[in-house]
Structure 1
């Protein structure tokens, strides 16, 4: 009976060890995915972030990269603790798991709040950014972001194409006869922004805040990323 009990315990320990190893592999891959989202944001979505008045969202991308790295390190630590069967490493591992779990709950709540603020900030600031900073010296990043935004989401202006009438760039005469930027055009060619007819540009007159709402949707990955 004693021999059978010893074998059963050994078998259970081995199964538990491999179960923990599998869990830690998945945990490591999850950390890699979070870090990849942060890097992807910095590489491909940083232009849109320049349209926001606050630097909170850019900081969030860096936080995702750091958080992903921490999760990956925790996964490796879990594997080492499992196979070496060291109690001090296991205690540290489970402490880190608890901290990460609590932080995810907090991050999920904050993600919802900041998502609402993101929508409000874009609606309030996008038109002002377009009219005052587009094609202005020192704001090349904003110019690039606005052009990319209008082409990607097939829109023109924050509310509609009429927003560009208030643009400093248009009023100054530097636009060269354009009434909207060339990025408003359905087919972008040089100086195509001189004609603002619906056949030529994305003239969405009945869709309020078209660009800002779509940009908010594009940036809403933060809500899902931080709540996972």
Structure 2
């Protein structure tokens, strides 16, 4: 049945609360999609540098999740405003599955965070040997060293006497300062930090932002599930 006089106030509050929650989830989904696209387009070189598809895989999962969250939030909005019970059921099931997936993914990410550090290190050590022999790996190292202002895995000594130009510091005009050997280099001519530490800090800093966004979206999902159940019951 529709909304009766007995539940008009409470029922309409739940109905429009569900709509607002879903609208916020929709905006969150758009943000997640944007982050996923940016990661794939701007940071694709990391695959070759790390010697693994882990980074690209995470970006594609992020993109797919964002699209799914955006779609399901639209379904929740329509289901709540139009009071369509079948939409509310589908909405609840998909939202629950997304929530469980995010929860399991977060737990696994926390448990295996130490192994991810090892994966980055092993990937860098392997790709370093291919520098100059593999164009994709060479471009990945050059882009990383220029963008993150780092050199080698642990420092410029890793390159021995064949230091890439991408390790050299840039002038205000964007011209690389000459630095082509270990001898004679200093903090004014070459990037001192190793790319392993800089990359790990970069990933961790972005993981905090993404993790915080995930927690907020998860909380909203819980509200969405609670409101959808209540609304479904009220429409009996």
TM-score range, shorter chain: 0.7 to 0.9
Structure 1 runs, 4 residues or longer, greater than 4 Å off: 188-191
Structure 1 residues 38 and 90: alpha-carbon distance in aligned structure 2, compared to 1, 3 A threshold: same
Distance in 2 separating the partners of 1:81 and 1:56: 37
Q: Which consecutive unaligned segments of at least 5 residues does structure 2 have?
A: 215-236
Normalising by structure 1, we get a TM-score of 0.79
Corresponding residue for residue 148 of structure 1: 143
Q: Is the CA contact 1:111–1:223 (under 8 Å) kept in the aligned structure 2?
A: no
Distance in 2 separating the partners of 1:12 and 1:218: 47
Q: Is the CA contact 1:108–1:223 (under 8 Å) kept in the aligned structure 2?
A: no
Structure 1 residues 97 and 200: alpha-carbon distance in aligned structure 2, compared to 1, 3 A threshold: same
User: Over residues 57-87 of structure 1, what are the superposed CA-to-partner deviations in whole Å (9 max), with x where a residue is unaligned?
Assistant: 2112111111111111110110111111121
Corresponding residue for residue 218 of structure 2: none
Equivalent residues, number: 203
Corresponding residue for residue 71 of structure 1: 69
Higher relative contact order (CA 8 A, sep 6+): 2
Distance in 2 separating the partners of 1:144 and 1:12: 60
Distance in 1 separating the partners of 2:47 and 2:116: 11
Identify the range of structure 1 (113-122 vs 9-18) with the bigger mean alpha-carbon deviation: 113-122
Matches within 5 A, 1:38-187: 38-130=36-128, 132-136=129-133, 139-165=134-160, 179-187=162-170
**Structure 2 residue corresponding to 1:30, chosen from 18, 28, 53:** 28
Q: Is the CA contact 2:52–2:123 (under 8 Å) kept in the aligned structure 1?
A: no
Does 1:212 pair with 2:201?
no
Q: Is the CA contact 1:107–1:226 (under 8 Å) kept in the aligned structure 2?
A: no
Distance in 2 separating the partners of 1:38 and 1:25: 20
Structure 1 residues 20 and 127: alpha-carbon distance in aligned structure 2, compared to 1, 3 A threshold: same
- Superposition deviation, residue 15 in structure 1: 1.9
Identify the range of structure 1 (154-163 vs 34-43) with the bigger mean alpha-carbon deviation: 154-163
Q: Look at both structures and tell me which one has the larger radius of gyration over its CA atoms.
A: 1
Distance in 2 separating the partners of 1:59 and 1:223: 19
- Superposition deviation, residue 223 in structure 1: 6.8
Distance in 2 separating the partners of 1:53 and 1:195: 26
- Superposition deviation, residue 202 in structure 1: 2.1
- Superposition deviation, residue 216 in structure 1: 2.0
